[in-house]
Amino acid sequence: MRKWLGYTEIDLTTNRKRKVLLVDVTRRFDLALACGDRFPFLHPLSYRTQGWQWNFGSLSLPRSEIDWQRSLGDLVGDVLEHFLADIVESNVADMGIRLDLRADELRVLDSTPGGNGLSETLLTEGRLATAFDNCERTLCKFQGKGTSKQFDNYILALCHQKPGHPAKEVMHVVRELRVRWTG
C-alpha cells in the first residue's frame, strides 16, 4: 500500500531535518483556515522541494550489524542514483537519493530549490521499476567466478569509491526492492 504519511522538512541554512507527519499538516491547515488564511499558505521567499519516501518494509539481509547495513545501503543508494537519473534523462546531481536499510526507507528528493519534478516523474509510467530492472541486469554481469575485480572497477568508475561489498549483496538488495515495488 502506498500512501502519503508526511514529509521531511530541511532547513537549508543549518541542514537540520525534521519529520512532519500528516497529522501536523492537517492541524496547521485547519488552524490557518480558522484564522482566515487561504490556500496554499506559501510563505514569502520560501522554497518547496519535491520528493517522496518509500517505506518498503524489512528486507531479508544476511547480517544485522548496523555499520554493515549502513555501508551496504549507502553503496546500493549510490549505484541506484545513476539508474534513477538515467531513467528520467537527468544528471545524478539533480536528485538526492538515500537508501536506509535500518529504517527500511528509500528517499528521493529533487535537489533544486522549488523542485524540478524529477522525483515525481520516477513514480510515473513504470520508471522506478524499469530503473530497478536495468540496475539488476547490469549487476548480473558481475555474478560468478572471476568478476569481483570487474565489479570493483565498475563501482570505482560509477561512484568514485571502492565498493566494500560484493556484487551479490548489492544485487540482492536491488532485487528485493524491485520485487516489493512491483508487487
Angstrom distance (rounded) from CA 88 to CA 124: 10
Question: Is residue 160 a contact partner of residue 125, using CB atoms and an 8 Å limit?
Answer: no
Question: Is residue 106 a contact partner of residue 56, using CB atoms and an 8 Å limit?
Answer: yes
Angstrom distance (rounded) from CA 102 to CA 139: 23
Question: Is residue 57 a contact partner of residue 180, using CB atoms and an 8 Å limit?
Answer: yes
Q: Cα-flanking dihedrals φ and ψ of residue 54, to 5°?
A: -115, 120
Instruction: Report which of 96, 84, 77, 91 is spatially closest to residue 121, judged by C-alpha positions.
Output: 84
Tell me how far apart the 2 most distant CA atoms of the chain are, in Å.
68
This prediction has a pTM of: 0.74
Q: Cα-flanking dihedrals φ and ψ of residue 156, to 5°?
A: -60, -45
Question: Is residue 43 a contact partner of residue 9, using CB atoms and an 8 Å limit?
Answer: no
Instruction: Report which of 88, 183, 74 is spatially closest to residue 128, judged by C-alpha positions.
Output: 88
Q: What is the pLDDT of residue 87?
A: 96
Write down the domain spans for the chain.
1-46, 50-182
Q: What is the pLDDT of residue 42?
A: 53
Q: What is the pLDDT of residue 132?
A: 97
pLDDT along the chain (183 residues), means of 10: 73 81 83 73 57 91 90 96 95 92 93 80 94 96 91 94 93 95 89
* CATH for 50-182, options being 1.10.3470, 3.30.1360, 2.60.40, 3.30.590: 3.30.1360
Concatenated DSSP letters of 19-69: EEEHHHHHHHHHHHHHTT--TT-PPTT-----EEEEE------S---HHHH
